[in-house]
Structures are given as C-alpha cells and as structure tokens.
Amino acid sequence: MRLLFLAERAMTRTTTLYIDKEAHKFSAAHYTIFTATERERLHGHNYSVSVRLEALMGDNGFSADYNVYKRRIQALCDRLDEYMLLAANSPHQTLELGETEIKATHNGKTITFPADETIVLPIVNVTVEELAHYLLGELIATYDDPSLTGVELCVSTGPGQTGAAVWAPEP
C-alpha cells in the first residue's frame, strides 16, 4: 500500500554529483594583498579544483552530464596553468598593462611581469575564495543546463586550505 501511495505522488527527484579528479589542477604564481601596506611575497601553489553538482534526475536515470563538466573544469584549469595571476580589482594595487609587460605596484614597490606569462583576473585578490567565485562564474556562464539546481566549486592549495563558492538558480 505504501509503494502505491509514493507512486501516485508527483515527486521531484534530485541528486548530487561530485567531480574531484586528480587531473583538475593548475600551478600558478601569485601574492595575496592584505592591506595598503602589506602583502605576501611572490610564491606559487599547486591548486586543485572540485565541483559538487545538484541536479534534477531525468527519466533516463541520469542528471547532469559528468563528461560536459569534467571537460569544462579541465579547460578552466588549463587556462590558468603555469601563469602569474594578478587581481585587477584590488584597491591596494595598480596595474599598468603593456604589450610585452605588466607592471604591478603595491605600496610604492613595482614588480614587472611578462605579459604573455601573466593573467589579470577580474577579482579583488588572488585567494582560494576569489578563485572559487571566478571559476564558478566561468563554469556556469558557458553551459546552460536546465537540470542544475545548485553548484559548489572548491579551490584548494592542499589539505586543509580550501575555498568554496556556491550558485543556485534564481527563483
């Protein structure tokens, strides 16, 4: 009797998919700016990216397409791999973008980077939190999937250091 009742009710089934592949990583240099006078020294990390997808179940027993998202995450990682990352929107840093070099000035000190080895991102600071929000925006901007009900993207610099950003469609 209970099974019949459940079958008669209209149920929306959702599922959660986790994508956490060894290949979804990138190495990049950066520095974090703390204040108008303090920043980290230039250094690098081996970042890893993982994604949690929440999606409606289809009649075929599938929800979101793993392969689409795995390829997209890989492409995002490949775009950032082996570059110097700079924050375009920091209130404590100015950038001078030239054809062959980019000059970053913080607290009166200017560092020059080769333009072809540097990516200027539309973020406030190069932190795992900001990278998570940036990459999440890039991930969902290029693929329209009506089955998605939520996405969480995590960026990690190693065990115990992860930043996450969450997206849900507007009601």
Q: Give average pLDDT by consecutive 10-residue segment, the chain, 171 residues.
A: 50 88 97 97 97 89 85 97 98 98 98 98 98 96 83 94 93 73
User: Counting beta carbons within 10 angstroms of the beta carbon of residue 95, is it exposed (0 to 12), middle (13 to 18) or buried (19 or more)?
Assistant: middle
pLDDT of residue 114: 98
pLDDT of residue 128: 97
Residue 3 CB contacts under 8 Å (≥ 6 apart), including other chains: none
What gap in Å lies between CA 159 and CA 157, rounded to an integer? 7
Domain ranges of the chain: 15-167
3-state secondary structure of 70: helix
Is domain 15-167 given the CATH code 3.30.70.260 in the classification? no
Q: Look up residue 33 and give its DSSP letter.
A: B
CB 132 within 8 A of CB 124: no
